Amino acid sequence: MFGTSGIRGPVGDAVTTDLAADVGRALASAGNERVVLGRDPRPTGSAFADALSAGVRECGGDVLRLGVQCTPTVARSVGWLDADAGVTVTASHNPPTDNGVKLWLPSGKAFGPTEREAIAERVEHDEFAFAAWNAFGSERTPGFDPRERHEAALLEAVSLDAAPAVVVDVGNGAGGVTASALDALGCDVTTLNAQEDGHFPARPSEPTPGNCAGLARFVAATDADFGVAHDGDGDRMVAVTGNGEFVPGDVLLALFGREAVPAGGSLAAPVNTSLAVDDALAARNASVDRTRVGDVHVADSLASDALAFGGEPSGAWIWPAETLCPDGPLAAVKLAELVADNGPLADLADDVPRYPLRRESIDARDKASVMRDVRERVAAQYDEVDDRDGVRVETDEGWFLVRASGTQPLVRVTVEARDERGADALHDTARTFVEASRGD
């Protein structure tokens, strides 16, 4: 039922109001007496939020409705409102035909495997503790504006001596707090697609290089210093330089990491993170602590270790001193501070090395069996194998990762090396392991 980022899927198929109500019932039945509830602007969000609220109240829990808010605002509000859990009704960067839920702890961290499994068990077995007719929970709004409180937190998180000019592509999603925070910091702000519209008419919600082409062209044609873009619920942030060049996620990870991680420290990042991040941090005698893929796993590492920063190249950035939720608006103001202190984003990005990368998806009907065999074959050939999420091997040339797709009958091969020849050789090696395990 749950993926690494909550429940998500097509409306009327994987996601229904019945499911939303059951999730609400499960939350309250599991002892979450006070639940914060917000949503992104998808047209189906209101009905799903109503159903989820009804489920919580039916089992005696109280609901604090925030309305349309970006996901990090909802996650932060759990602690602000002394609640037990939070819910965002959202499908994140998926198309408008989808919806889902993300669940949050008071720390701002997403529900981990233990919490997710407890909710899933209750839903699957109808294990709900229904309240008596006169003990239903209540629903109300908070006594403050959550967006204004989030904006105030963003202003406290950074200090700008010289405010840059920034273009903010909200993508018709819920991340408009970014523009208002940058404006309050003194930046010259231009917005694109700032009207909340869950049909996402201006561009697809996922802020990929292709989907951000309009932002890139606009920034290049103006005097803006850089541009940022969000997904539908505002937990992701990507950037383009003043020249209109899309900044790869690994490069942003390296730039944020160099700024946030002290000498001798570490950042948290998933197993498919580029060597460029390791090399950028090596100059500070710092390193990368790798996690499983998924921002919840990055957050788990940040919660348990004394690390100052972590993130995923997909655009999820976490500063644990602020919140354990990926916070796209926080990343945007942090980027403004970085540019104000260190110069043009294009120059900073050029200072981060980029290496040849190979990616391939290979059909594997029985991907679990293929991955078991790959692990055995790789372990027999290499002394050090990282198998926390797929199979990752580091060599003198670079690294390769063989990992099963979470949603499709595919095994994905990712390879990176410091030169083209090394990348080709590692790709051939990794592909051979998969083909041999398929019986090819």
Q: For the chain, give me the number of helices (H) and strands (E)?
A: 14, 18
User: Beta 62-68 vs 34-39: how paired, if at all?
Assistant: parallel
The confidence score (pLDDT) of residue 108 equals 94
* Of the candidate ranges 59-68, 203-212, 301-310, the one whose mean pLDDT is the lowest: 301-310
How far apart CA 89 and CA 91 sit, in angstroms, is: 7
The confidence score (pLDDT) of residue 30 equals 97
- Residue 32 above 80 pLDDT? yes
Please state the CATH superfamily assignment of the domain spanning residues 7-143 in this structure.
Alpha-D-Glucose-1,6-Bisphosphate, subunit A, domain 3 (3.40.120.10)
Query: Is 137 in contact with 146 (CB distance < 8 Å)?
Result: no
Q: Is 112 exposed, middle or buried (0-12, 13-18, 19+ CB in 10 A)?
A: middle
Q: In what order do the strands lie in the sheet with 226-230?
A: 188-192, 165-169, 226-230, 237-241
Q: Quick one: pLDDT band at residue 21, thresholds 50, 70, 90? A: very high
Write out pLDDT tens, residues 75-104.
999 999 999 999 999 999 999 999 999 999
- Of 304, 323, 252, 262, whose CA–CA distance to 106 is shortest? 323
Paired strand residues for 98: 10
Amino acid residing at 283: A
Q: Quick one: pLDDT band at residue 439, thresholds 50, 70, 90? A: low
Sequence ranges of the chain with CATH classification 3.30.310.50: 357-438
Q: Quick one: pLDDT band at residue 4, thresholds 50, 70, 90? A: low
Query: Is 25 in contact with 122 (CB distance < 8 Å)?
Result: yes
Query: Which of these CATH numbers, 3.40.1000.10, 3.40.50.300, 3.40.1710.10, 3.30.310.50, describes 357-438?
Result: 3.30.310.50
Calculate helix-pair angle for 328-342, 249-260, nearest 10 degrees.
Answer: 70
- Residue 407 above 70 pLDDT? no
Left, alpha or beta for 294 (phi > 0: left; psi -120 to 50: alpha)? Answer: left
Mean pLDDT, the chain, whole residue set: 95
Who wins on pLDDT, 45 or 303? 45
pLDDT, average across residues 320-345: 97
Query: Mind giving me the DSSP string for 224-237?
Result: -SEEEEE-TTS-BE
Token pair for residue 346?
Answer: 């294009």
pLDDT, average across residues 338-360: 95
User: Rounded to the nearest 5°, which phi and psi values hold at 61?
Assistant: -90, 155
* Of the candidate ranges 1-5, 142-146, 309-313, 326-330, the one whose mean pLDDT is the lowest: 1-5
Residue 273, Cβ neighbours under 10 Å: how many? 26
- Of 331, 318, 321, 325, whose CA–CA distance to 289 is shortest? 318
358-203-223 Cα angle (round to 5): 90
Query: Is 320 in contact with 260 (CB distance < 8 Å)?
Result: no
Q: Quick one: pLDDT band at residue 440, thresholds 50, 70, 90? A: low
Sequence ranges of the chain with CATH classification 3.40.120.10: 7-143, 148-350
% residues pLDDT > 90 (the chain): 90
The confidence score (pLDDT) of residue 42 equals 98
Q: Give the CA distances from residue 6 to residues 35, 297, 299, 428, in Å, rounded to whole numbers and listed in that order.
A: 16, 13, 14, 35
Query: Is 82 in contact with 34 (CB distance < 8 Å)?
Result: yes
pLDDT, average across residues 117-132: 97
The domain at 148-350 falls in which architecture?
3-Layer(aba) Sandwich (3.40)
Amino acid residing at 408: Q
Annotated active-site positions, please?
92
How far apart CA 25 and CA 53 sit, in angstroms, is: 9
Token pair for residue 30?
Answer: 């599991």
Q: Quick one: pLDDT band at residue 150, thresholds 50, 70, 90? A: very high
User: Rounded to the nearest 5°, which phi and psi values hold at 336?
Assistant: -60, -40
| Total number of residues shown for the chain | 440
- Residue 206 above 90 pLDDT? yes
